[in-house]
C-alpha cells in the first residue's frame, strides 16, 4: 500500500520510525513494532542514522513487511552511488516495498566510522528525480528497464523551524519538481512557527506530516538545540521537563508535550511522523492523548 493513496482519500496519516540493530537479529525490533506501532499507518526504517553502521535498512523493511506492517524505506545518498541506489530502489519494489523517503544523509564524520569515505554521488533532490525516472521505466542514464516499472510513494524532508524559511521553501519546491509526493518534517517544538510555515507551504499542494519527537530530558533537548539543525526546544518546555523529575523520567511529561504539539498543529497538516528514539512503548499513550 502506498501511503499517497491515503493522503488522496483525505486520511490523516500517522507514521513512526525505528532504527535497525547493530547486529543480525531483527526479532526484537519486529516484535516491538508489532506491539507498539501496529496502530499506525506505516513504519519508517532509518538508514545508518547519524552515520552509525547498522543492519541493512532494506532487510529490516522486508522483515517488517513479512510481519504484516507497512514499511517506509529510507534511502540516504551518503553510503551508495547512483548505481547502488537505483539497484536498492528496484530491489525494494521487487519485494513490494512501495513507500520511500529520500535523504541526503549525515556526513560520515558524525558517526562511528569517521574515517569512512562519504559518497554523496546524488543528493535528496536528485535521488527523488532518480526514483521518478525509474517509475517511467528508465534508469538515470536513460537505459530501459525490463518489464513493468516500479511505482513509489516518494517522500522527502523539510525543516519548517529553520532560521531561513525562504531557503527551506525553495528546497521544498525543488523536491516537488523532482517528484516528491509527500513530506515529513524535522521535529517541531514551536507550533506557531510550524503553522506560519504551512501557510506558505500549502501552495505546493503536497501532504505534509508534522515531525514529532517525545522529549526525554532537559539534557536531550539542550543537545538537540546545540547540534541538530532546524530543531529548537523553547525554554518554557525545558522548564516543564524540569518541574517534576520523576514524571519526566517516566516519560509522562514528554508524552504530554508531544501530544499538545500534535493537537495544536493537526489542523494545518495531513499527518504526523513520530520519532520515538527508543521510546516506541510510549507511542500508544501519545496517540491516545493526542486524539489519534
pLDDT tens, residue by residue, 200-216: 999 999 999 999 999 99
Overall average pLDDT of the 87-105 stretch: 97
- Res 188: pLDDT: 95
- Res 244: pLDDT: 87
CATH code of the domain in which 246 resides:
3.20.20.220
Assess whether pLDDT exceeds 90 at residue 88. Answer: yes
Structural domain count, the chain:
1
- 235-243 and 252-265 helices cross at what angle (nearest 10)? 140
Containing domain of residue 70, as a range?
3-289
Report how far residue 292's alpha carbon sits from residue 286's, in angstroms, rounded to the nearest whole number. 8
Mean pLDDT of the chain, nearest integer? 94
Q: From start to end of the chain, where are the E strands?
A: 13-18, 42-45, 71-76, 99-103, 153-158, 182-187, 208-213, 271-275
Assess whether pLDDT exceeds 90 at residue 137. Answer: yes
Predicted TM-score of the model (pTM): 0.94
Residue 17 DSSP label: E
**How is residue 128 written as a grid cell?**
527523488
- Per residue in 211-234, pLDDT (tens digit) is 999 999 999 999 988 888 778 889
- Res 226: pLDDT: 87
Amino acid at each position: 500500500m502506498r501511503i499517497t493513496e491515503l493522503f488522496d482519500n483525505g486520511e490523516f496519516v500517522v507514521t513512526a520510525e525505528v532504527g535497525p540493530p547493530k547486529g543480525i537479529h531483527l526479532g526484537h525490533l519486529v516484535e516491538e513494532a508489532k506491539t507498539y506501532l501496529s496502530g499506525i499507518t506505516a513504519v519508517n526504517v532509518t538508514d545508518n542514522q547519524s552515520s552509525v553502521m547498522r543492519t541493512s535498512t532494506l532487510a529490516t523493511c522486508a522483515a517488517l513487511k513479512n510481519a504484516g506492517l507497512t514499511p517506509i524505506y529510507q534511502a540516504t545518498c551518503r553510503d551508495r552511488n547512483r548505481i547502488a541506489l537505483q539497484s536498492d530502489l528496484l530491489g525494494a519494489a521487487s519485494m513490494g516495498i512501495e513507500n520511500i523517503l529520500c535523504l541526503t544523509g549525515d556526513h560520515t564524520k558524525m558517526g562511528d566510522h569517521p574515517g569512512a569515505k562519504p559518497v554523496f554521488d546524488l543528493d535528496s533532490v536528485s535521488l527523488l528525480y532518480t526514483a521518478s525516472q525509474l517509475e517511467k521505466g528508465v534508469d538515470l542514464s536513460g537505459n530501459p528497464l525490463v518489464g513493468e516499472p516500479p511505482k513509489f510513494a516518494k517522500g522527502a524532508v523539510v525543516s519548517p523551524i529553520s532560521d531561513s524559511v525562504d531557503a527551506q521553501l525553495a528546497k521544498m519546491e525543488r523536491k516537488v519538481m523532482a517528484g516528491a509526493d509527500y513530506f515529513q518534517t524535522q521535529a517541531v517544538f514551536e507550533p506557531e512557527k510550524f503553522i506560519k510555515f504551512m501557510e506558505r507551504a500549502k501552495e505546493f499542494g503536497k501532504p505534509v506530516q508534522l515531525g514529532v519527537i517525545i522529549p526525554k530530558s532537559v539534557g536531550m533537548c539542550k543537545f538537540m538545540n546545540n547540534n541538530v539543525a532546524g530543531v529548537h526546544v523553547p525554554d518554557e518546555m525545558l522548564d516543564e521537563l524540569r518541574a517534576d523529575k520523576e514524571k519526566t523520567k517516566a516519560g509522562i511529561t514528554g508524552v504530554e508535550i508531544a501530544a499538545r504539539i500534535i493537537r495544536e498543529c493537526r489542523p494545518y497538516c495531513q499527518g504526523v511522523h513520530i520519532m520515538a528514539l527508543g521510546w516506541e512503548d510510549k507511542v500508544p499513550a501519545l496517540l491516545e492523548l493526542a486524539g489519534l
